[in-house]
Amino acid sequence: MTPLEIEEGAELARRAALALVRGPHRVFFEALDADRIAARTVGENVWPGLTDRQRERLRALVRERFVAALSPSPSGEGEIAWSFARPAASSLLVDLGLKFGARTLKTRWDVDRIRGRWKVADITLSDPGLSLAKAAGRSIGGSPVLRRDRGQRALAEALPRLIGLAGIAAVLLFASRRLSPPRRALLFLTASAPALLFAIDGTLVVRRALSESYALPEVVREEPWRHAQGLALEAQSAGRLEEAGERWDRAVALGAPPAPVAYRIGQAARQRGDAPFARAAFERALRAPEPAPGAAKELALLAVSEGKNEEARGHLARYLREAGPDPDTLSLAAVVETNLGNHEAALEAIRAARQMVGEGTRGAELEAQVRARSGDAAGTVAALRPLEPQGLLDRWALRADPAYLPVAAEPAWVAFLAETPAPPRTVTPAPRK
């Protein structure tokens, strides 16, 4: 792909994501290739045989599943925190961080060019490794589309209406003999309304039955494991860990993807401080046929906390390969490389992170800390200086920060800390014409 094509595809993904988290959803629905997702679910040979009404119903089900999985905050204040686009074998992968308040959801958007137009073919929740297209397929696939005998179906639909018409005719025949001509005319006029309704309704349903080669279920059944998953989450949040484990096992037995389940179990164990149990769960999440990449990042965090930087580097390499980059992971990689003495690789990771999020306090401070760990006092000062005109530099906090101890006695750093803080730069708006 050319750089222009990459930017076009990435821009479509960003516009669709903003429409998803802020509205209107119509823009997201137009970008989502719901036809192809639904066709793969019901079968490429079945899709052309469906009527327009049936296809629109399946499109709506697919869209609902995507919106439900990526539901925005109630306030509708979602935004895109960062983005990164990379060409794949036959499509474009766009990594987007969707931010809802203090929470950021890492997603991967698979964008294809179809008949000259960019379309979103799938969205994956990067850390648990959940493909929303596959999830929608599993949901719809639980209520299969079946071929049916159109003649038999038309007869079944028409029979109740024919019985109704026959009933009206019988009443008219029986009553008309006992009524005077004026009352008989009134009876016929009154009976004509329901008879006409029966006839019109019967004609419509018979035409529909004859046109539909396949039967769609009226209600799409929920996956059987959803209930067990809800009970597991409830028990987990209440601290009933043994019960939660049993519920999770039940959910997997009923068809829940095992890798995301193990990933969630590991996260809960890490939050309660049970590192061995968390590590076992994350390793299980990575051994699954469709692994949860976020487990590799969690193992890297555990390894860093134990001083095992070489092990952490390996886990991070796998995570970045399978889930793509994001500012937090690149920052963690910079810390690991710094601990291992590879300062150039650490700075490269920080530069990549800063490109994703743009210029700001966090990126500047991370670069300064990496340079300080390598003993580069001048580079540390140069990384922090752009923050001063914005009023984001606190020299007292820098003096107390242990990250800058390696350059604490360097003349360039001492002089920098001794400087009188410059006043924040104010921006004067341009006069209106």
pLDDT of residue 211: 57
Mean pLDDT value across residues 203-227: 66
pLDDT of residue 360: 60
Mean pLDDT of 249-276: 89
Q: What pLDDT is stored for residue 12 in this prediction? A: 94
User: Which residues 6+ apart lie within 8 Å of 415 measured at CB?
Assistant: none
Looking at residue 131, its pLDDT comes to 92
- Strand-pair category, 130-131 with 146-147: unpaired
pLDDT of residue 72: 61
Q: What residues pair up with 80 in beta bridges, in sequence order?
A: 98
Report domain extents, the chain.
3-146, 149-211, 339-420
What is the per-residue pLDDT for 310? 95
pLDDT winner (highest mean) among 50-64, 134-148, 299-313, 405-419: 299-313
Question: What is the Cα–Cα distance from 158 to 166, expressed in whole angstroms?
Answer: 12
CATH 3.10.450 fits 3-146, yes or no: yes
**Structure confidence at residue 433 (pLDDT):** 45
Note the pLDDT tens digit of each residue in 116-152: 889 999 999 999 999 999 888 877 765 556 555 455 5
Other CB atoms within 10 A of residue 196 CB: 10
User: Which of 196, 261, 179 lies closest to 225, judged by CA?
Assistant: 261
Residue 73 clears pLDDT 80, i.e. is over it: no
**Distances in whole angstroms, Cα of residue 187 to Cα of each of 167, 196, 357:** 14, 14, 78
The pLDDT of 412-432, averaged and rounded, is 70
Asked if the model's pLDDT at residue 75 lies above 70, the reply is no
- Tell me how far apart the alpha carbons of residues 282 and 262 are, in angstroms, rounded to a whole number: 6
Residue 423 pLDDT grade (very low, low, confident, very high; cuts 50, 70, 90): low
Cβ–Cβ < 8 Å for 274, 242: no
87-91, 107-111, 193-197, 236-240, range with the lowest pLDDT: 193-197
Percent of the chain whose pLDDT exceeds 90? 24
How far is residue 418's CA from residue 395's CA, in Å, rounded to a whole number?
Answer: 8
pLDDT for the residue 144 = 57
CB 259 within 8 Å of CB 292: yes
- Residue 57, pLDDT > 80, answer yes
Rounded to 10 deg, the angle between the 34-42 and 132-141 helix axes is 40
Return the structure tokens found at 174: 């029986």
Bin 326: left if φ > 0, else alpha if -120 < ψ < 50, else beta. Answer: beta
Burial class (CB in 10 A: 0-12, 13-18, 19+), 382: middle
Question: What's the start-to-end Cα distance of the chain, in Å?
Answer: 43
Distance CA 249, CA 281 (A): 13
What pLDDT digit, counting tens, does each position of 350-391 carry?
888 878 876 566 677 777 877 887 778 888 888 888 888 877
User: Which amino acid does the sequence have at 207?
Assistant: R
pLDDT band at 93 (very low <50, low <70, confident <90, very high): very high
**24/86 Cα distance (integer angstroms):** 27
Segment 219-243 mean pLDDT: 79
* 249-263, 289-303, 372-386: segment of lowest average pLDDT: 372-386
Distance (Å, rounded) from C-alpha 267 to C-alpha 277? Answer: 10
pLDDT digit string, tens, across residues 265-279? 998 888 888 899 999
Spatial contact of 407 and 376, defined as CB atoms under 8 Å apart:
yes
pTM above threshold 0.75:
no
- For residue 149, the model assigns a pLDDT of 47
